[in-house]
Structure 1
Amino acid sequence: MDQFSAGKSAVAAGLKILVVDDNVDAANMFAMLIQFEGHDVRTAFNGAQAIESVQAFTPDAVFLDISLPDMTGYRVAEQLRRIPALDKAMLVAMTGYSDEDHQARSEKAGFDHHVVKPADHAYVMQLLDQAACRR
């Protein structure tokens, strides 16, 4: 059994996930790994696309980069938290920033979790299990 098969979760299967990162290759690779686990995944590459995507898609979880070209991930998270349809959605900051200041800013902006890149696949699966329980 390979490392990805071992991580599959029956609880979290079929979630709607939005991956937001201005690094197109990183976003697409992360999205493919989550799709492999049986989820419906969409990608966005800036804050405006993320906000537009959630209007039609209503994800269960959003993995959101902090450094985006048009606005910060903090600002995007604050705007997403104002959308009533996303009140149960899990917001996960995906960033290279690991210091306490950025973690505090993530929490203040409405993120549920602050994950430093590269994200551990098993930990991401645990987060998706949590997101499934929030539905």
Structure 2
Amino acid sequence: MGKHILIVEDYLEAGATFKELLELLGHDVKWVLNGQSAIQQLEEKAFDLVFMDLNLPDMHGVVLLKQVQDKGLGPNTQFIAVSGHSAKDVAAVEAIKVFDHYLEKPIDLAMLNRILSRTA
């Protein structure tokens, strides 16, 4: 059974490709371009997973996650940071502390499958 997934990604090519991939895997996917739109979506609907770019145009992904948590949104949602930063970079280390999972760009399909199966 497919999951309800929200993608928060401002880079159009990456967002469209990721959305298409997840839909091909059988998931119901919504894609937004910034943090404010993500908050709106989370207020309107429950998602199983949120894949969130860290460098959004209106706020950093860590700030967005804190706002989501402060509002009590997505209590049963897994939040996955997605970034071009290596997991050893300072920005990634901070994200790893607060997100449920961390994915480096380009996304490794084996890692993606592990995350999708862990959140079944």
**TM-score normalized by the length of structure 1:** 0.81
Distance in 2, matches of 1:122 and 1:31, equals 17
The structural deviation recorded for 1:36 is 0.6
- For structure 1, the residue ranges without an aligned partner over 5 or more in a row are 1-12
Distance in 2, matches of 1:105 and 1:27, equals 23
Mean Cα displacement is larger for which, 25-34 or 78-87? 78-87
The structural deviation recorded for 1:54 is 1.2
Q: Percent identity?
A: 33
The structural deviation recorded for 1:72 is 0.6
The structural deviation recorded for 1:24 is 1.5
Per-residue CA shift, 1:50-108, capped at 9, x if unaligned?
A: 11111112110011000011111111111222344512211111001113422331134
Structure with higher helix content? 1
CA RMSD of aligned residues (A): 1.5
| Match in the other structure for 1:101 | 90
**TM-score normalized by the length of structure 2:** 0.90
| Match in the other structure for 2:57 | 69
Per-residue CA shift, 1:3-59, capped at 9, x if unaligned?
A: xxxxxxxxxx31000011110121111011001111110001011111111111211
Distance in 1, matches of 2:68 and 2:119, equals 16
- For structure 2, the residue ranges without an aligned partner over 5 or more in a row are none
Aligned residues: 119
Distance in 2, matches of 1:78 and 1:101, equals 18
| Match in the other structure for 2:36 | 48
